[in-house]
């Protein structure tokens, strides 16, 4: 079997891809509803509701459990990586986003007061709130329960 065929037939991989796509598409829809603007950049952006990272890792983990057993070593590895990813999303990445917001304000104030600084801004939407991670994880669970069987 060729590598391409193996990838195309990897149901667990495609559950994760589907989960990512749905989570990112929801970000576009929610931006349209809440902010009344269509922002296609949200399809590939970081941060926001729901967490696509959480959705992907939970959907893959649950799919691994369904297909290979919840007592398998593969499930244990996937679950550990999912927990690390979700913890990082609400911890380190969220703090980096907050720091970027502060630095952007400082640079803006310096530029407004005649400072000669680049006006490039840092990305502030990097991490997630616990609610965004929870909703992403729930989305991943639902998608895996629907799509991983068979």
Q: Are 35 and 68 contacting, i.e. CB atoms less than 8 angstroms apart? A: no
Q: Are residues 30 and 65 in the same domain?
A: yes
1-59 confidence digits (pLDDT tens):
699 999 999 999 999 999 999 999 999 999 899 889 888 988 898 778 899 999 999 99
Residue 105 burial (C-beta neighbours within 10 Å; 0-12, 13-18, 19+): exposed
Question: Do 81 and 56 share a domain, yes or no?
Answer: yes
What distance lies between CA 112 and its chain's CA centroid? 35
pLDDT reported for residue 9: 93
How many helices (H) and strands (E) in the chain? Answer: 6, 0
Q: Identify whether residues 80 and 113 lie together within a single domain.
A: no
* 115 and 135 fall within a common domain: no
The radius of gyration of the chain from alpha carbons, rounded to an integer in Å, stands at 19
> Can you give the pLDDT at residue 53?
93
Same domain? For 143 and 117 the reply is: no
pLDDT in tens, 54-93: 999 999 999 999 999 999 999 999 999 999 999 988 876 6
Looking at the structure, do residues 79 and 118 belong to the same domain, yes or no?
A: no
- pLDDT of 118: 65
The count of domains in the chain is 2
Question: Which residue range(s) make up the domain with 99?
Answer: 92-126
pLDDT higher than threshold 70 for residue 111: no
Q: Are residues 99 and 111 in the same domain?
A: yes
The answer on pLDDT for 95 being more than 70 is no
């Amino acid at each position: 079997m060729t590598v391409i065929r193996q990838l195309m037939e990897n149901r667990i991989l495609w559950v994760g891809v589907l989960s990512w796509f749905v989570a990112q598409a929801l970000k576009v829809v929610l931006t349209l509803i809440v902010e009344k603007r269509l922002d296609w950049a949200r399809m590939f952006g970081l941060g926001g509701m729901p967490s696509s990272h959480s959705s992907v890792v939970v959907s893959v983990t649950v799919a691994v459990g369904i297909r290979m057993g919840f007592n398998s070593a593969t499930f244990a590895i996937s679950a550990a990586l999912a927990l690390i990813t979700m913890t990082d999303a609400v911890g380190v990445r969220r703090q980096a986003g907050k720091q970027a917001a502060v630095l952007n304000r400082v640079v803006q104030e310096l530029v407004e007061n005649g400072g000669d600084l680049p006006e490039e801004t840092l990305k502030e939407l990097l991490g997630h709130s616990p609610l965004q991670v929870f909703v992403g994880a729930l989305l991943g669970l639902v998608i895996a329960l629907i799509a991983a069987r068979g």
